[in-house]
Amino acid sequence: MARVVTVGALASGRGTNLQAIIDAAAAGRIAARVAVVISDRRDAGALERARRAGIPALHVARRDFLGRDQFEARIVSELVARGVELVALAGYMRVVGPALIGAFRGRIMNIHPALLPAFPGLEAQRQAWEHGVKVAGCTVHFVDSGMDTGPIIIQAAVPVREDDSAEDLAARILEQEHRIYPEAIGLYAAGRLRVEGRRVRVLGG
């Protein structure tokens, strides 16, 4: 059995990507264990999903800290205390700052609902739909100091159909998110990701 990577997830919302990761880990499809889920929102569905899975669920409120560095320092100390090696942003609605990036350099992943570098930022599915693209998709990437700019690990494409609403498209993309995020974590756990500049090489399995 491959070494099991200890994952800490940061999430602000409903947590369906987190659920996909928890399920893949629980089923033994990836050599990962989610050790803690941290949210900046007390009411995040992601915290409820964590509790249901028996995973420690923490609310860390930004307003309890003077600046982003102090806020992130608390998050870092919670992650480190649980032996987290890989941080998975799963619908975490804040830009990650230097305190978190510095502590987990090259060990933070994010899922973005567009084929980066197109449509970074908020509501990417709607941006793509309004732009009129014919192919949309999602991206798992390592996080750097930019907004959705880090090295790309896996992408999945979906067609945009003639009668799609932005919501239809988002739902089709979400299905693929749930597939590729656990897959990317599995590749990391298996030691199969090598970052070379901007490029991530996936080593043969």
| Catalytically annotated residues | 112
Shortest distance, position 89 Cβ to ligand GRF, whole Å? 7
Three-state SS for 36? strand
Do 89 and 10 meet the contact criterion of CB atoms below 8 Å apart? yes
Shortest distance, position 167 Cβ to ligand GRF, whole Å? 12
Shortest distance, position 2 Cβ to ligand GRF, whole Å? 25
The smaller minimum CB distance to ligand GRF, of residues 7 and 90, is found at 90
Interface ranges with ligand GRF (CB under 6 A): 11, 13-18, 90-91, 111-113, 177
Three-state SS for 118? coil
The smaller minimum CB distance to ligand GRF, of residues 8 and 91, is found at 91
Shortest distance, position 14 Cβ to ligand GRF, whole Å? 4
Per the structure block, which two tokens stand in for 105? Answer: 């350099």
The smaller minimum CB distance to ligand GRF, of residues 156 and 190, is found at 156
Give the pairing type, strands 108-112 and 135-142. antiparallel
The residue with its CB nearest to ligand GRF is: 91
- H/E run at residue 156: strand 152-159
| CA distance between the termini of the chain | 14
Do 22 and 49 meet the contact criterion of CB atoms below 8 Å apart? yes
The smaller minimum CB distance to ligand GRF, of residues 8 and 113, is found at 113
How open is the CA angle 73-6-106, to the nearest 5 degrees? 60
